[in-house]
Amino acid sequence: MKTSTEDKDSTQIVFTRKGMLQGFIKCIPLGLGVFAYGLVFGVLAVQAGMSPLQAQIMSLTVFAGASQLMALELWATQLPVLALTVTVFAVNMRHLLMGAAMRDWLVRLPPGKTYFSLFFMTDESWALSVKEMASGNKDAGFFLGSGLCIYFFWNSATGLGATMFTLVDRLFADPAVLGLDFAFTAVFIALLIFFWKGKSQVPVWLIAGMVAWIVFLLLPGKWYIILGGLAGGIAGAIKDA
Amino acid sequence: MLESSGFIFAAAIVLMTAATYITRAGGLFIISRIAPTQRLQAFLNHVPASILVAIIVPSLVDKGPAEFIAAGSTAAAAILTRNLIISLLTGLICVSLLRTLIF
- A102 and B28 within 8 Å at the Cβ level: the answer is yes
- B78 and A239 within 8 Å at the Cβ level: the answer is no
**What pLDDT score does B3 carry?**
46
- B17 and A61 within 8 Å at the Cβ level: the answer is yes
Q: Give CA B70 to chain center in angstroms.
A: 18
Q: CA A93 → CA A67, A87, A123, distances in Å?
A: 11, 10, 12
One-letter amino acid of B8: I
CB A70 within 8 A of CB A97: no
A54-102 pLDDT per residue, tens: 999 999 999 998 889 888 888 888 888 998 898 889 889 899 999 999 9
What is the DSSP-derived secondary structure letter of residue A14? B
- A190 and B88 within 8 Å at the Cβ level: the answer is yes
Local confidence band at A6 (pLDDT 50, 70, 90 cut-offs) = very low
What is the DSSP-derived secondary structure letter of residue A12? P
Q: Which helix (H) or strand (E) holds A83?
A: helix A81-92
Distance CA B41, CA A101 (A): 10
Which of A61, A201, A230 minimises the CB distance to B49?
A: A201
What is the DSSP-derived secondary structure letter of residue A173? S
Local confidence band at A175 (pLDDT 50, 70, 90 cut-offs) = low
Distance CA A104, CA A8 (A): 8
- With beta carbons under 8 A apart, name residues in chain B contacting A63: 20
Which of B51, B58, B79 minimises the CB distance to A229?
A: B51
Distance CA A113, CA A131 (A): 20
Q: Which residues pair with A139 in a beta bridge?
A: A14
What is the DSSP-derived secondary structure letter of residue A212? H
- B26 and A96 within 8 Å at the Cβ level: the answer is yes
Closest alpha carbon to A223 in A37, A92, A84, A124:
A92
Query: Cβ neighbours of residue A181 under 8 Å, at least 6 residues apart?
Result: A175
Chain A closest CA to B103's CA: distance in Å? 12
Q: CA A163 → CA A33, A44, A171, A187, distances in Å?
A: 20, 11, 14, 30
CB A239 within 8 A of CB A202: no
- B13 and A57 within 8 Å at the Cβ level: the answer is yes
Tell me the H-state helices in B32-64.
Answer: 38-61
Q: Give CA A121 to chain center in angstroms.
A: 6
- With beta carbons under 8 A apart, name residues in chain A contacting B35: none
- With beta carbons under 8 A apart, name residues in chain A contacting B55: 123, 184, 188, 212, 225
Is the model more confident about A86 or about B102?
A86
**What pLDDT score does A124 carry?**
93
Nearest CA in chain B to A231: B50
Distance CA A206, CA A231 (A): 10
- B27 and A212 within 8 Å at the Cβ level: the answer is no
Let me know if A106 is exposed, middle or buried by CB neighbors in 10 A (0-12, 13-18, 19+).
buried
* Interface residue B46 vs chain A (CB under 8 A): yes
- B32 and A103 within 8 Å at the Cβ level: the answer is yes
Per-domain boundaries in chain B: 1-34, 38-103
**What pLDDT score does A102 carry?**
96
Per-domain boundaries in chain A: 13-195, 198-241
A152-166 pLDDT per residue, tens: 999 999 999 899 876
CB A107 within 8 A of CB B28: yes
B35-66 pLDDT per residue, tens: 878 998 899 899 999 999 999 999 898 888 99
- With beta carbons under 8 A apart, name residues in chain B contacting A121: 24
- Other C-beta atoms lying within 10 Å of the C-beta of residue B35: 5
**What pLDDT score does A7 carry?**
47
